[in-house]
Amino acid sequence: MDYQANYDRWLNSPKVSEEDKKVLRAMTEKQKQDAFFKDAEFGTGGMRGILGPGTNRLNSWTIGKVTVAFGEFLLKTYPNAREMGVAISHDNRHCSREFTLQAAEIFNKMGIKAYIFDALRPTPELSFAVRHCGACGGIMITASHNPKEYNGYKVYDHTGCQLVPDAIAPMLEILKGLPNELEVEIPLFEKKAETIVLGPEVDDEYVALVEKCQINPDLDKSNFKVIYTPQHGTSYESAMRVFQDCGYNIIPVKEQCVHDPNFGATKSPNPEVESAWELALEYAKREHADLVVMTDPDGDRCGLAYLSSKGTYERLTGNQSGALLIDYLFSSRKARGEMPADPVMYDTIVTSSLGREVAAHYGVKTESFLTGFKFIGERIHHYEKIGHGPTFVFGYEESYGCLIQPFVRDKDGVQAILLYSEMALYYHNKGIALDKAMEDLYARFGYHYAFLKDAYFAGMEGASTMAKLMKDLHANPLKEIAGLKVAAVEDYLNDVITFADGSKKAIEGLPPSDVLKFVFEDKSTLCIRPSGTEPKMKFYIEIIGEGEEATKAKGEAIYRDFMKIIGLEA
């Protein structure tokens, strides 16, 4: 794509506001390239981009074009799409409400009914609302945990699940065939449809279903204190209501309960980032709390920190907290006789193997998918549709996302923090800190050290460099890293596993994806994939060993050597 031609097109268009043209004129050459070298694209978490003028930006023009494409797609996919309608929600970010109202108006002009909330709501409630309203689709305006400069656009089908690649392909073809974002026109229907503001009954039903996720609701909560932060985002109202209904002594981080689009009281809205926890941990120390839980801005991810046996506050990674929760959920269900006959758990190919081992211990099989919770949601629907098969009992991914009950078809941070709190309470009442519970888990299943690193490749040049790196790795996979021999290379782009002896095995049941996973002789793994939401590559490393120190040292050695091999700084 010719970035200069796109830039000139915007600068010379009478449709572009003088305010935006002022921003365009002030751009450096590098900023021009980044804003115009491509169109904003759909990745693992929908379409995300920096707010501002440009084809590779989120603005009223790019939002308008993709909404027309989604509307055309729904009309072609669902014969009664106009009557079924589309549910739309949004987070606390800049332009989120404006984009929501714009999308609803476009659908109405196309004759499609729209359902919106009176204010922001979390992603999982949007997923629930699609099903509650019997809508044919949904839109969530959010950039999840990205920095404040971003916004995004996620699309859902009638099941409340984000569209998987095969399902979204026809929409992307429609999008490709439309005129450019400044010239696209809304195809008007003879009768304009209405926008319906959803009432409190949707909130009430969603909250009631979340509360039913509890396994042991009657645990003694009298000596257990929880700090909660929504990171300025959407889950504050519903999470506080759930915690209070369920009898928890909950203390909100009040500075971060304001729906601030600038995220003014946090250094990061991402639970994976250490600085995101600073204020919440100050609260925990002051209040002598037992647990700290956090949801991200759109309420689908969560994280937790806890008072350790050493008297310090420590955090669990998504892999650790997920495995610990699996052990608690499945052991509790077994004890209560509530485990179904053919249980199944879903995770992703970059999630630690620890959770799978715990699940297998309780007789639960695991199916692993590509990164993106849409694949888990789609699989839940698949078995429902055919009317037989295994019963869903849990789904999660390493990036702090999980689902306990499938009335939502996306990860649900409110469900997660409720069950994480119950799990922590269970151990608290037994006098066991969560670090000791993790030590017990490692003693039973082996020490697993799993961690994530990344490298940014911003702009047009960065995108080209990242694409070349991945192409080279696919064409010439590494045979040894940090003195460890590679036993197998899992190439998810070409759907094949190649073993050290040259033999091959097909990867079945997963769509092609630009992902490589190296499996070493000692069962350690290194997985590489470009992010679907930000301009960066992600490196997932897992080491399985006897002791913490040696295991961590091996993991760091793999990371440093790999970065040296591909010419990047560790």
Please give the Cα distance from 302 to 497 (Å, whole number).
33
- Please indicate whether residue 144 is annotated as part of the active site: yes
The answer to whether the CB of 228 falls within 8 A of the CB of 253 is: yes
Helices (H), 178-269: 200-211, 236-245
Q: Which of 29, 66, 24 is nearest to 49 (CA)?
A: 66
| 297-316 exposure pattern, b = at least 16 Cβ within 10 A, e = fewer | bbbbbbbbbbbeeeeebebb
Q: Which residues contact 249 (CB under 8 A, 6 or more apart)?
A: 221, 224, 225, 226
Give φ, ψ of 153 to 5 degrees. Answer: -150, 110
Question: How far is 528 from 395, CA to CA, in rounded Å?
Answer: 22
Catalytic residue among 127, 144, 524, 531: 144
Cβ proximity of 162 and 448 under 8 Å: no
Contacts of 451 (CB under 8 A, 6+ apart): 317, 540, 541, 542, 555
Please answer whether residues 436 and 309 qualify as being in contact, where contact means their C-beta atoms are separated by less than 8 angstroms: yes
- In angstroms, rounded to a whole number, what is the distance separating the alpha carbons of residues 436 and 63? 49
Report the C-alpha gap between 6 and 22 in whole angstroms. 16
Residues 12, 3: Cα–Cα separation, whole Å? 14
Residue 45 carries which side chain, given as an amino acid letter?
Answer: G
Spatial CB neighbours of 18, under 8 Å, sequence gap ≥ 6: none
Q: Are 507 and 497 in contact (CB under 8 A)?
A: yes
Dist CA 103 CA 110 (whole Å): 11
Residue appearing with tokens 């793994």? 525
Q: Are 419 and 329 in contact, with CB atoms under 8 Å apart?
A: yes
| C-beta neighbour count of 481 within 10 angstroms | 21
- DSSP-derived 3-state class of residue 139: strand
Query: How far apart are the C-alpha atoms of 520 and 446, rounded to whole Å?
Result: 17
Question: Distance (Å, rounded) from C-alpha 267 to C-alpha 276?
Answer: 6
CA distances from 74 to 179, 472, 503 (A): 19, 39, 44
The DSSP secondary-structure symbol of 297 reads: T
One-letter amino acid for residue 277 of the chain = W
Q: Enter the tokens of residue 235.
A: 């889950």
User: Cβ–Cβ contacts within 10 Å for residue 461, how many?
Assistant: 13
Residues 530, 322: Cα–Cα separation, whole Å: 23
Catalytic positions are 144
